[in-house]
Amino acid sequence: MTTAASDSKSHDANQMTGAAMIVRAMIDHGVEHIFGYPGGSVLPIYDELFQNSEKLQHILVRHEQGAGHAAEGYARSTGKPGVVLVTSGPGATNMVTPLADALMDSIPIVCITGQVPTHLIGNDAFQECDTVGITRPCTKHNWLVRDIKDLARVLHEAFYVATSGRPGPVVVDVPKDVQFATGTYHPPRKSDVHVSYTPRLKGDAGQIRKAVALMANAKKPVIYSGGGVVNSGPEACKLLRELVEVTGFPITSTLMGLGAYPASGTNWLGMLGMHGTYEANMTMHDCDVMLCIGARFDDRITGRTDAFSPNSKKIHIDIDPSSINKNIRVDVPIIGDVGNVLGDMLAAFKAEAKKPDIKAWWQQVATWRGRNSLAYKKNNDVILPQYAIERLYAATRGRDTYITTEVGQHQMWAAQFYGFEEPNRWMTSGGLGTMGYGLPAALGVQVAHPDSLVVDIAGDASVQMTMQEMATAVQYELPIKIFILNNQYMGMVRQWQQLLHGNRLSHSYTEAMPDFVKLAEAYGGAGFRVTKPSDLDGAIQDMIKVKKPVLFDCRVASMENCFPMIPSGKAHNEMLLPSEANDEATAAAFAGGKALV
């Protein structure tokens, strides 16, 4: 008996090295793909990946930032955590931008970083940096694992923390000697949650009843939804749609929340905020009851805070208590998971309230809609960026399509002119505003959805920040389509210089531009260039057909600006509409000096 027992112990399948535990934990958490880049401090883990390549596919990027954004795209399009593996020192510091990006947009990322051996920590060793120190303010939580005995628990905690409550990025920093050390692994158990972290999921019933009473008596209501609805999951989006149906309220959404309610829905007002539609912003400004669901009253949404929706009672559903009353005071805060709260709210509304009569309010909304705030002048000679996105939308509508973007004018035009019918189809860097996000994010989306059409609506400046990931796309045969609205400017920077800095275009023009067609071919992808509106539709069809990564150089009107716009520091009802944006009106709208935000 004793021999058998000791035998079984020596062959205990749970005895393994730290490196093996890391790979095993990923497999146990259902991870199928990881994005990474090898280096000295993660070689033991890469050795394990080599031996487990059938269970866990590793995507080799060309720069760690690419791995981070790819994991974000993967996470956002699947609802599962994105997983990243990078080495110590520069590997870790290159991950800082995607971590900060994921924290701002509440994207679950589990990032494993290698670290120098424990006895060298603090010695300024080769490729050493204080990874947990550097990433502390840009992660939801992070850990340095100094003892193999803690590793399995910390790995499971990391997945729990990243995906529960308000999702976010986490970092587990593992010194090389801990990767080599042998210890006992345990599969994830219920108790592998962080002892002090218990986010509140269920909303307070009393608060929900108060909210329902406000909604039932509203004359001029609006629903303002955000990324929290998408993060809460498909069920939450279904409930949101049902709530709109049951109440008959108009609904607008933040940049991050697009797709939770379909753009073709009758109650849809379009996006709100700085570049939102006139009807969305006016509805927000004049409403008497505002129901904010999973959004956070960001400064790009509110404009001038002391003039934000002055006459409304505000209900705010958020899983993060620190979002409540941070920027805007609300009357009925409800802390909880959107899906959970909406379920209870719907039940309460159906039981206690009737659809309020808001016909007059809808008539008012119709007159605002009549201003047609997204109108632009058609042009037969040059491609207008708005037109390019409309044509892309027309060509991809009804297909299984995912859209990512970079950051700038093209991003706002994409949000305005591309209609999203479903959640998780729209990947964009909202909070941090990271140029270079879209190309690697598209890569991550394509890994998760190999048969879908994945398009990065890009700008010529942004796309050059992470262009190297074209090589990754070619290596893994990921046919991402990089649709570049090329105006040779950093368009949004230039727009602000024109509007706020006396038209002094300081360093916002890219004098040397690569030949994107040749560049695509050099990487082993396909290149297209279109300069005439009449050629656009055909070229888009050709782009969709190509089974390779594509750089699509869409030459657009170089001086087009993005409207409508709330000048920063102004209120929702002080929008500048495209039809009114002549020089005089623009000068007046932006009078009062340079805005700070």
Partner 1 sequence: MNQPASAYFMDERKDPIETHTLSVLVQNEPGVLARVIGLFSGRGYNIESLTVSETEAQKHVSRITIVTTGTLAVIQQIKNQLDRMVPVYRVVDMTLSGRSIERELAMVKLRGVGEHRVEALRLAEAFRARVIDATIESFVFEITGNSAKINQFIDLMRPLGLVEVSRTGVAAIGRGPEGM
Residue 194 interacts with partner 1 (CB under 8 A): yes or no: yes
Q: How far is it, in rounded angstroms, from Cα 162 to Cα 193?
A: 11
Q: How far is it, in rounded angstroms, from Cα 35 to Cα 385?
A: 33
Site for partner 1 in 462-501 (CB under 8 A): none
Q: Using CB under 8 A, which of 324, 414, 441, 499 touches partner 1?
A: 324
Dihedral pair phi/psi, residue 142, rounded to 5°: -145, 160
Question: For partner 1, which is the closer residue by CB, 241 or 304?
Answer: 304
Residue 191 interacts with partner 1 (CB under 8 A): yes or no: no
Let me know if 464 is a catalytic residue.
no
Residue 1 interacts with partner 1 (CB under 8 A): yes or no: no
Question: For partner 1, which is the closer residue by CB, 444 or 564?
Answer: 564
Question: For partner 1, which is the closer residue by CB, 335 or 395?
Answer: 335
Write out the two tokens for 235. Answer: 């069920």
Pairing of strands 15-17, 182-184: antiparallel
Residue 197 interacts with partner 1 (CB under 8 A): yes or no: yes
Q: What's the closest the beta carbon of residue 508 comes to partner 1, in angstroms? A: 22
Question: For partner 1, which is the closer residue by CB, 299 or 331?
Answer: 299
Of the chain, the end-to-end C-alpha distance in Å amounts to 74
Q: How far is it, in rounded angstroms, from Cα 176 to Cα 181?
A: 9
Choices 110-118, 215-223, 367-375, 568-576 (CB under 8 A): range interacting with partner 1: 568-576
Residue 122 interacts with partner 1 (CB under 8 A): yes or no: no
Residue 195 interacts with partner 1 (CB under 8 A): yes or no: yes
Question: For partner 1, which is the closer residue by CB, 196 or 380?
Answer: 196
Let me know if 64 is a catalytic residue.
yes
Do 200 and 319 form a contact (C-beta atoms < 8 A)?
Answer: yes
Residue 137 interacts with partner 1 (CB under 8 A): yes or no: yes
| Catalytic member of 64, 72, 128, 390 | 64
| Catalytic member of 140, 176, 314, 481 | 176
Q: What's the closest the beta carbon of residue 200 comes to partner 1, in angstroms? A: 10
| Catalytic member of 15, 50, 55, 126 | 126
Q: Using CB under 8 A, which of 54, 306, 381, 584 touches partner 1?
A: 306
Do 447 and 69 form a contact (C-beta atoms < 8 A)?
Answer: no
Sign of the alpha-carbon dihedral angle for 72, 109, 131, 61: negative
Q: How far is it, in rounded angstroms, from Cα 261 to Cα 430?
A: 18
| Residues comprising the chain, all counted | 597
Let me know if 378 is a catalytic residue.
no
Q: What's the closest the beta carbon of residue 596 comes to partner 1, in angstroms? A: 5
Residue 132 interacts with partner 1 (CB under 8 A): yes or no: yes
Question: For partner 1, which is the closer residue by CB, 105 or 390?
Answer: 105
Residue 331 interacts with partner 1 (CB under 8 A): yes or no: no
Residue 316 interacts with partner 1 (CB under 8 A): yes or no: no
Q: Which residues contact 31 (CB under 8 A, 6 or more apart)?
A: 56, 80, 81, 83
Q: What's the closest the beta carbon of residue 325 comes to partner 1, in angstroms? A: 6
Q: How many CA atoms lie within 13 A of 46 on its CB side?
A: 17
Residue 133 interacts with partner 1 (CB under 8 A): yes or no: yes
Give the helix/strand (H/E) hosting 182.
Answer: strand 182-184
Q: How far is it, in rounded angstroms, from Cα 187 to Cα 477?
A: 34
Total site size for partner 1, rule CB under 8 A = 38
Q: Which residues contact 539 (CB under 8 A, 6 or more apart)?
A: 528, 530, 552
User: What three-state secondary structure class fits 434?
Assistant: coil
Residue 502 interacts with partner 1 (CB under 8 A): yes or no: no
Question: For partner 1, which is the closer residue by CB, 351 or 596?
Answer: 596
| Catalytic member of 57, 127, 475, 488 | 127
Q: How far is it, in rounded angstroms, from Cα 386 to Cα 493?
A: 18
Residue 53 interacts with partner 1 (CB under 8 A): yes or no: no
Question: For partner 1, which is the closer residue by CB, 195 or 512?
Answer: 195
Residue 136 interacts with partner 1 (CB under 8 A): yes or no: yes
Q: Using CB under 8 A, which of 218, 570, 572, 586 touches partner 1?
A: 570
CB atoms within 10 A of CB 172: 24
Q: Using CB under 8 A, which of 325, 367, 379, 534 touches partner 1?
A: 325
Residue 187 interacts with partner 1 (CB under 8 A): yes or no: no
Choices 131-139, 260-268, 411-419, 511-519 (CB under 8 A): range interacting with partner 1: 131-139
Q: What's the closest the beta carbon of residue 426 comes to partner 1, in angstroms? A: 25
> Which residue is listed with tokens 């019933």?
205
Question: For partner 1, which is the closer residue by CB, 430 or 569?
Answer: 569
Do 368 and 278 form a contact (C-beta atoms < 8 A)?
Answer: yes
Greatest Cα pair distance in the chain = 94
Q: How far, CA to CA in Å, does 514 sit from each of 383, 388, 553?
A: 20, 21, 10
Q: How far is it, in rounded angstroms, from Cα 83 to Cα 34?
A: 5
Q: Which residues contact 169 (CB under 8 A, 6 or more apart)?
A: 98, 99, 102, 103, 107, 108, 109, 110, 111, 138, 139, 140, 162
Q: Using CB under 8 A, which of 310, 321, 524, 538 touches partner 1?
A: 321
Site for partner 1 in 160-179 (CB under 8 A): 161, 166
- CA angle centred on 308, ends 304 and 313, rounded to 5°: 160
Class of residue 256 by CB neighbours under 10 A (exposed 0-12, middle 13-18, buried 19+): buried
Known catalytic residues? 64, 126-127, 176, 492
Name the site residues for partner 1 (rule: CB under 8 A).
Answer: 132-133, 136-137, 140-142, 144, 161, 166, 194-197, 299, 302-307, 320-322, 324-327, 329, 567-570, 592-593, 595-597
